[in-house]
């Protein structure tokens, strides 16, 4: 059932751009050479055209092609705040993709779809927590990327504060993992948190900063003024 939709992607293929993309992403798979706006335009139409069950099935079928733009389109087709009548199927298919993550662009697009479903049902944090102990780099990283919306409340409710502290605990577990993408994810999560919760950000860096890579500390504190040392 995905062939007509995959054909829409192929119609806009740009072989020269596709070759450049393969060199940039350094992962062996088929690239079509589409831009994000081109994929956005197609998936926006699909969201209007298809009911939830059909769209979830289409997204999973496109993902299974392992074509770069098809995987981005799969994620984008499920990226929306509300999915009616029940978003469980959408969440389950997004979770099923996580072990396949092998590059930041695909992982981040899928996580953006997952962020919406996590905000819709915060109890899904229990499932995400299992990713923290994964041996798979991209699964572990996804635990932080998919929870980024929980950094953004200026006036969080008690349950949101509890979730925030829970994820900071996950980040603390990951501090000894010095792989670049893990350290970058920790710094990214703290950087976004710093805009809304300076105290927790500084407390984390004060406690764990010596064991983080310097670039992760710099990323975490990017939006904060340097504290003045007492005379």
Query: What CATH number should be reported for the domain holding residue 187?
Result: 1.25.10.90
Give the model's pLDDT for residue 1.
64
Does the pLDDT of residue 202 top 80, yes or no? Answer: yes
Contact between residue 228 and residue 196 where contact means Cβ atoms under 8 Å apart: no
Closest CA to 221 of 230, 203, 229, 231: 203
pTM of the model: 0.93
Give the percent of the chain with pLDDT over 70.
Answer: 97
Specify whether 63 is located in the same domain as 131. Answer: no
Specify whether 126 is located in the same domain as 217. Answer: yes
pLDDT tens digit sequence for 41-67:
999 999 999 999 999 999 999 999 999
Q: Is residue 112 domain-resident?
A: no
User: Which residue range(s) make up the domain with 33?
Assistant: 1-100
Q: Is residue 172 domain-resident?
A: yes
Q: Is residue 114 domain-resident?
A: no
Domain count, the chain: 2
């Amino acid at each position: 059932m995905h062939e007509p939709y995959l054909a829409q992607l192929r119609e806009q293929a740009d072989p020269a751009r596709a070759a450049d993309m393969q060199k940039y992403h350094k992962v062996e798979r088929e690239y079509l050479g589409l831009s994000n706006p081109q994929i956005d335009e197609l998936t926006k139409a699909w969201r209007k055209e298809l009911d939830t069950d059909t769209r979830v099935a289409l997204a999973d079928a496109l993902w299974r092609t392992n074509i770069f733009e098809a995987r981005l389109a799969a994620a984008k087709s499920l990226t929306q705040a509300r999915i009616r009548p029940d978003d469980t199927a959408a969440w389950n298919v997004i979770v099923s993709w996580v072990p396949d993550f092998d590059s930041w662009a695909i992982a981040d697009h899928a996580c953006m779809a997952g962020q919406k479903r996590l905000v819709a049902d915060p109890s899904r944090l229990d499932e995400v927590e299992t990713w923290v102990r994964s041996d798979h780099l991209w699964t572990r990283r996804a635990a932080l990327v998919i929870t980024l919306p929980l950094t953004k409340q200026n006036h969080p409710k008690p349950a949101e504060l509890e979730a925030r502290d829970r994820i900071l605990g996950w980040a603390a577990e990951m501090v000894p993992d010095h792989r670049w993408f893990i350290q970058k994810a920790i710094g990214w999560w703290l950087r976004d948190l710093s805009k809304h919760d300076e105290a927790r950000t500084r407390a984390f860096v004060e406690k764990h900063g010596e064991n983080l890579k310097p670039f992760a500390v710099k990323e975490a504190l990017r939006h904060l003024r340097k504290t003045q040392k007492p005379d």
